[in-house]
A and B are shown apart, each in its own frame.
Chain A
Amino acid sequence: MTRLRGVLVALVLLVTAALLVPAQAPVRAQATKGKIKIATQSPLSGGQAVLGEGIKNGAQLAIEQLGGPIKRLGFDLELVPFDDQAKPDVGVANAKNLVTDPDILLVIGHLNSGVAIPSSEVYKDSMLAMISPANTNPKITDRKYKNVFRVVGRDDVQGVVGAEFAAKEMKVKTVYIIHDKTAYGQGVAEFFRDHAPKVGMRVVGFEGTEEQANFDPIITPILARRPDLVYFGGIYNQAGVFFKQARAKGLKARFLGPDGMDSSDLAKVAGQAIVGMHYTTVAGPVSVYPRAAKFAQDYKAKFGKDPEPFAAQAYDATAIGLKAIENAIKAAGGKKPTREQVTNEIHKIKGFRGLTDTFTFDAKGDPVPATYFVINIVSGDPAKWGQNKLVKTLRINPPGAGM
């Protein structure tokens, strides 16, 4: 007992020691003009950590590869990854924490719209720029906060793109819609549902579920309704299980989904069940971007796996931010810029050539135009995910752009 107590005391001491040494410990005695930090906020633990980690890794790679100009201007550059656990409370608490660090000039994040919306309320108070690599919920930019940007399209457009494609190209007459009861999945599913009747499709079911493993009881009524198409508003890890079980149960309908389907893991989970299905996306696979080939290589070399969806977008978001910070430093005469200056510089960026697009933002912070893709899955083999066929590329301005 006493020995264990000793171990405990030692542990506590160790932790205290780690805390006492301030975070700015690096011993490199370098005469710099100060430190500039870029924070990421994404889930690093919990069920969505795969995607969240992709965002962090993308940002990290961008800082390592593109941080040169800022370092040459005399600043230390550092990444501060925060784990928002995909929970709004945690995201907000992190946000309140990171806004008090004056060195943080930019936030890359979040993954979940439900976390980004309340967290950006906090960033707004200090005009800290947030560039989202992944949030597609319209509300993110519709609040017209000056400091909130995203490098991807919006669900109100994506849902419509999906419905148009289903009606006109897939010639679908009836559709059954499933969503995952998150701000993202339900949001995009509702936009799809609202547009469906306008293009002549009948919605024969609209159902939300938090279920992760057993979809049998949900599939049974779908079977009975015999829809032409099943639209799944959600993320691949849940959708994959659903598709697999639906096919196994004898469902003949075709499948369609939003950008949440975009991961080779969908093939890993669902296998043959998803061959021939389509999905719309705001972030095409790395293979559709000619400029992203080297990124994919570097990513694999550094992190030992292929880039997750949104990793390239996080790289771009960080790249834009770095450029804006660089411009802001120059505008401030070589001094460390304020957050507001950085935010202003992001608005000024026009035609920035990133990996995934050439970016210009409208007043709300949406990219003009945003690109939407429709992709056809050709194989149930995750290794062949990269060979999926790009069926359609649409460049659409965000609603209300230019006003």
Chain B
Amino acid sequence: MPVGGADRVEWDILLRILPTVVVDGFVLGFVYAMIALGYTMVYGVLQMINFAHSEIFVMGAFVGAETLLILQASGLLTVLHPLALLAVVLVLAMAGSGLLAVAVERVAYRPLRGAPRLIPLISAIGVSFFLQDAIRLFESLWRNAFFLTYPTIDLFDRRIPLVGEVEISVKSLLIIVASLLMLVVLTLFVNRTKLGMAIRAVAEDQPTAGLMGVNVGRIISLTFLIGGAMGGAAGALFGVQFGTINPYSGFIPGLKAFTAAVLGGIGNVPGAMVGGLVLGMLEAFAASYMSLLTGGAFGAEYKDIFAFSVLIVILMFRPQGLLGEVVREKL
């Protein structure tokens, strides 16, 4: 049923919103990219899908929220400079999530080293169930509520005009800057440092790396620490950007980010970024344009179908993802 005179395609509206949609897509894409980096990092080294990464991400969001709420309660929120606040929040969230990721690896994945690929996957799913409810348990004992809302920080909500009517908020800019920064630092770290070389060695061939004197266990822990820390930073920025979180809010972004990582070629760091951006852009376009283009017959609810369909098509023609290398694996 055409709704309210939308029985023809309104090209004027379509064109008018185009720049805004592009900006929306970029911001969403960078959020996915940040989470995807964590998946890809672990995958690149262990060839394992860290299904619990979405909970590690949520952990960061909760640490961030708690930090801000506690600062708010003590009246420091308005005293400190917003950027200093952000720095504190990010550092704590990264520490919290990074340590959690290391702990998860120790308890649930390390005993499974050498097992077929599906075994750690199931273990990770179990961890994911456990963590969701553990966070809820903690928050309901601590605050008697587990939906947390980030305090509003005026500077972050300010909007900067780009061109014409198009604006971008400060927090969106922060996300873009942060994820680009992460990408650069991570690439440099992996490619230019000694530890990075060790990580690459372990990724390439664990036993040989061990023989060459690399402490495999410690390198794997380090990988989880870095991947987790990035997930934590993404979680805190996600909270600042979208305002509210609960123990289950990691699931959907986690799934999307995972998709993004695969789309870009899992295990490939720039690939995660590209995959995230492609997915974010697809979603933004589908959500904004679907209804306009079909006269209301199909709407924003089809954005996931659209995104997944494109994923399937891309993988049909590039089975290794956009930037991935050809791999041969077995279950």
User: In the complex, what residues of A have CB within 8 A of residue B3's CB?
Assistant: 203-206
Contact A223 B244 (CB under 8 A): no
Contact A47 B292 (CB under 8 A): no
Pick the residue among A204, A223, A265, A269 that contacts B17 (CB under 8 A).
A223
Of B180-188, B194-202, B259-267, B281-289, the one with at least 4 CB within 8 A of chain A: B281-289
Check: A101 CB closer than 8 A to any chain B CB: no
Most buried by A among B13, B145, B244: B244
A241 to B246, CA, bound (A): 13
Contact A50 B300 (CB under 8 A): no
User: In the complex, what residues of B have CB within 8 A of residue A209's CB?
Assistant: 287, 299-301
Contact B288 A220 (CB under 8 A): yes
A46 to B16, CA, bound (A): 40
User: In the complex, what residues of B have CB within 8 A of residue A204's CB?
Assistant: 3-6
Check: B231 CB closer than 8 A to any chain A CB: no
Contact A225 B13 (CB under 8 A): yes
Question: Beta-carbon contacts of B43-62 to A below 8 Å, as 1s and 0s?
Answer: 00000000000000000000
Of A119-127, A211-219, A318-326, the one with at least 4 CB within 8 A of chain B: A211-219
Interface members, chain A 244-302 (any B CB < 8 Å): 244-245, 248, 250, 265, 268-269, 271
Contact B249 A221 (CB under 8 A): no
CB distance from A379 to the nearest CB of B (A): 15
Pick the residue among B4, B152, B249, B283 that contacts A217 (CB under 8 A).
B283
Pick the residue among B144, B243, B287 that contacts A305 (CB under 8 A).
B144
User: In the complex, what residues of A have CB within 8 A of residue B78's CB?
Assistant: none
Of B20-28, B98-106, B308-316, B322-330, the one with at least 4 CB within 8 A of chain A: B20-28
Contact B243 A208 (CB under 8 A): no
User: In the complex, what residues of B have CB within 8 A of residue A268's CB?
Assistant: 149
Check: B320 CB closer than 8 A to any chain A CB: no
Check: B206 CB closer than 8 A to any chain A CB: no
Q: Dominant SS at the B interface?
A: helix
Most buried by B among A216, A240, A245: A216
Closest chain A residue to B246 by CB distance? A47
Pick the residue among A45, A216, A221, A223 that contacts B133 (CB under 8 A).
A45
Check: B7 CB closer than 8 A to any chain A CB: no
Question: Beta-carbon contacts of B68-82 to A below 8 Å, as 1s and 0s?
Answer: 000000000000000
Most buried by B among A46, A47, A221, A241: A221
A213 to B283, CA, bound (A): 13
A224 to B253, CA, bound (A): 27
Q: Given A213-B238, A241-B242, A244-B243 in contact, is the A265-B147 Cβ separation under 8 Å?
A: yes
User: In the complex, what residues of B have CB within 8 A of residue A50's CB?
Assistant: 145-147
User: In the complex, what residues of A have CB within 8 A of residue B28's CB?
Assistant: 214, 216-217
A140 to B98, CA, bound (A): 48
User: In the complex, what residues of B have CB within 8 A of residue A224's CB?
Assistant: 13, 16-17
Contact B284 A213 (CB under 8 A): no
Contact B246 A248 (CB under 8 A): no
Contact B21 A202 (CB under 8 A): no
User: In the complex, what residues of A have CB within 8 A of residue B246's CB?
Assistant: 47, 237
Q: Given A202-B4, A203-B4, A207-B291 in contact, is the A217-B21 Cβ separation under 8 Å?
A: yes
Pick the residue among A208, A217, A244, A265 that contacts B24 (CB under 8 A).
A217
Q: Given A46-B248, A47-B246, A305-B145 in contact, is the A217-B287 Cβ separation under 8 Å?
A: yes
Interface residues on chain B, size class: 35 or more
Check: A210 CB closer than 8 A to any chain B CB: yes
Contact B288 A210 (CB under 8 A): no
Contact A218 B300 (CB under 8 A): yes
Question: Beta-carbon contacts of B238-277 to A below 8 Å, as 1s and 0s?
Answer: 1001111010110011000000000000000000000000
Q: Given A205-B296, A217-B303 in contact, is the A241-B243 Cβ separation under 8 Å?
A: yes
Interface members, chain B 145-172 (any A CB < 8 Å): 145-147, 149, 152, 157, 159, 167, 169
CB distance from B162 to the nearest CB of A (A): 14
User: In the complex, what residues of A have CB within 8 A of residue B253's CB?
Assistant: 213
Contact B5 A221 (CB under 8 A): no
Question: Beta-carbon contacts of A182-222 to B below 8 Å, as 1s and 0s?
Answer: 00000000000000000000111111111111101110110
Closest chain A residue to B286 by CB distance? A217
User: In the complex, what residues of B have CB within 8 A of residue A240's CB?
Assistant: 244
Contact A269 B21 (CB under 8 A): no
User: In the complex, what residues of A have CB within 8 A of residue B25's CB?
Assistant: 217
User: In the complex, what residues of B have CB within 8 A of residue A217's CB?
Assistant: 21, 24-25, 28, 283-288, 300, 303
User: In the complex, what residues of B have CB within 8 A of residue A174's CB?
Assistant: 4
Check: A181 CB closer than 8 A to any chain B CB: yes
Contact A269 B6 (CB under 8 A): no
CB distance from B244 to the nearest CB of A (A): 5
Question: Beta-carbon contacts of A50-69 to B below 8 Å, as 1s and 0s?
Answer: 10000000000000000000
> Can you name 7 extra interface pairs (CB under 8 A) apart from A50-B146, A214-B242?
A202-B5, A205-B3, A217-B284, A223-B20, A248-B157, A265-B147, A265-B149
Interface of A with B (CB < 8 Å)?
45-47, 49-50, 174, 181, 202-214, 216-218, 220-221, 223-225, 237, 240-241, 244-245, 248, 250, 265, 268-269, 271, 304-305
Q: Can you list 29 A-B pairs, Cβ within 8 angstroms, ordered by A? A: A46-B248, A47-B248, A49-B146, A50-B147, A181-B301, A202-B4, A202-B5, A205-B4, A205-B6, A205-B296, A206-B3, A207-B299, A211-B300, A212-B252, A216-B24, A216-B28, A217-B24, A218-B287, A218-B288, A218-B300, A220-B17, A221-B17, A221-B292, A224-B16, A240-B244, A241-B243, A250-B167, A265-B147, A269-B147
List 8 A-B pairs, minimum CB-CB distance, nearest first: A217-B287, A216-B24, A213-B242, A217-B284, A224-B13, A203-B4, A204-B4, A217-B288
